Structure 1
């Protein structure tokens, strides 16, 4: 089959440009470490707070994730307005993650993860952590209330891999 010169040239340019286009806009799957360092964090107000600035985090809480489906500690207390660095440390041999949200949001997301385990997303309230690695979430808890954090990888949430966050109102 022969192509007109313009079609052939267009095809050649597409083949040349495609790798550059893919490199300029990488896709991060849920199964990879989320790329917070390479992109600006989108600050969207959520019921449980908003993405924080790392320089504003006065406290770091290490949350250990293990293959026995535990998060330690599994309860946090935070003051309204506090920016906290949650350091998710995967001590297991399985992929784990931490996602912050309301109980309802986490349950809905966990159900979606069962149906679509390769779902792509990268939000500032999530840290997806390969075995033996760590990931940080910097979050400003600017709304009082009771919230949760959990591993939403299919089956982990249902096995009890979750914790609670109480954000105490300012006086």
Structure 2
């Protein structure tokens, strides 16, 4: 009986500490990532230092858009889809990444997860990493893509949440209509 109770306790502790349980897949009420082959059209977004061109994009609900992201600036930039509240939350995560040395003005460093002890974001239940499906980092002089299916009408933003960039005006309107 004593051994069985200890085994049950050990199994419970392992389950609670498992990264599978700690970081559930994030869902987005405005859509989901899609393969580029499913895109109904492509939209090129040019990233300058503290600007996006175009500043506004109109989409119809049900459309799958392949965003082609061209960073013509001198700094690392992010293209992130979401509403203002999501961006505010993500900005705090990006600030922690910058403070840890993981995020530099021109790159995202690969971090040794062992050296990140104590830097875990307990509100999210996972260590710091930039792997959200609604977001992509684009180094200076590079091009990247993000393909997304928009499932319902919404007033969203596309933004760069690297500390200071959103505040400097690196945000655009994304209107999804019926």
* TM alignment of 1:2-151, pairs within 5 A: 45-67=27-49, 69-117=50-98, 118=102, 119-151=128-160
Q: Which has the higher Rg, Structure 1 or Structure 2?
A: 1
Give the TM-score of the pair, scaled to structure 1: 0.70
Compute the displacement of 1:138 (Å): 0.3
Provide the residue aligned with 2:7 in structure 1: none
* Counterpart-to-counterpart distance in 2, 1:125 and 1:116: 18
* Residue deviations 1:128-159 (CA, integer Å, cap 9, x gap): 01111011000000021101110111110111
Structure possessing the higher relative contact order (Cα contacts under 8 Å, 6 or more residues apart): 2
In structure 1, stretches of 5+ residues that fail to align are 1-42
Where does residue 166 of structure 2 map in the other structure?
157
| Structure 2: unaligned runs, 5 residues or longer | 1-24, 103-127
TM-score (norm 2): 0.67
Equivalenced residues, count = 127
Distance in 2 of aligned mates of 1:139 and 1:98: 12
**RMSD between superposed Cα atoms in Å:** 1.7
